[in-house]
Amino acid sequence: MDLTELNTRGWMLVDGISSQADILELGKALGSPVRTPNGVLVKEIRRVPRNEAPPGSQSAIYGAGPFPLHTDTVFWPLPVRYVILRGYGDTRRPTTVKSFSELVRNCDTQFHVCARDSVWLVRAGSKSFYCSMQFRHNDSHGWRYDADLMTPANYAALHVDKVLRPLVTSEVDESITWSGDKAVVFSNWTALHGRGPQPSDEGIRVIERLYVR
């Protein structure tokens, strides 16, 4: 598999993925698929009404509206490496995507110094921990940011949060419109993703998701 696009842009589309078995095979080609706490590998995600959503979840916060750009699993000591998504059903609502480098392209030196020095408190269930937003693992460099789960814990983080919040909620020009047998692979360390605005009379939209370590 040619991973150039994934490694440079932070995400890539893969054709010919039309089942959970295909998603799993793709995941195994990238690394080690991770089971959810319920024991499944490929999780099916459907929109949950706000009043039925777990407290603090994106559906509880944003209801049927768009989700801002975020990193998945910021509450893991090392966020998951890759996320594979495939959408079907009412696919009029896109999935948004943007690389960190693209998102902060116009940010000044102060922002980048603060990003390096920032300390955050991450909400992780009943436990919480402090972390930086940038990390190194082996030879790879990564970012984590989730405006809802990460609280600034020093002045540098306060500045970064003030700059990033409007950027992750503003309109994202890059988005994936689901069709046919298409999947997307994100590097969760270098790209952020979100959910686009709700179309009128939205039907059932299913997103299949696999985490890969």
Residues in contact with Fe ion by the rule CB under 5 A: 72
Q: How far is the CB of 107 from Fe ion (least distance, A)?
A: 23
Residues recorded for the chain: 213
Q: Please, which residue, 14 or 97, has the CB nearer to Fe ion?
A: 97
Residue 51, Cβ neighbours under 10 Å: how many? Answer: 8
Token pair 């594979």 in the structure block, residue: 84
Closest residue (Cβ) to Fe ion? 72
Q: Please, which residue, 72 or 161, has the CB nearer to Fe ion?
A: 72
Q: Please, which residue, 43 or 92, has the CB nearer to Fe ion?
A: 43
Q: How far is the CB of 41 from Fe ion (least distance, A)?
A: 17
Q: How far is the CB of 122 from Fe ion (least distance, A)?
A: 15
For residue 83, how many C-alpha atoms fall within 13 Å in the half-sphere facing its CB?
Answer: 25
Residue 2, Cβ neighbours under 10 Å: how many? Answer: 7
Cα–Cα–Cα angle for 22, 27, 29, nearest 5°?
100
Q: Please, which residue, 72 or 208, has the CB nearer to Fe ion?
A: 72
Q: Please, which residue, 110 or 177, has the CB nearer to Fe ion?
A: 177
Q: How far is the CB of 95 from Fe ion (least distance, A)?
A: 9
Angle between helices 109-117 and 155-169 (to 10 degrees): 120
Does residue 193 contact residue 115 with C-beta atoms inside 8 Å? no
Q: How far is the CB of 180 from Fe ion (least distance, A)?
A: 22
Pairing of strands 150-152, 120-124: antiparallel
What are residue 74's phi and psi, to 5 degrees?
-60, -20
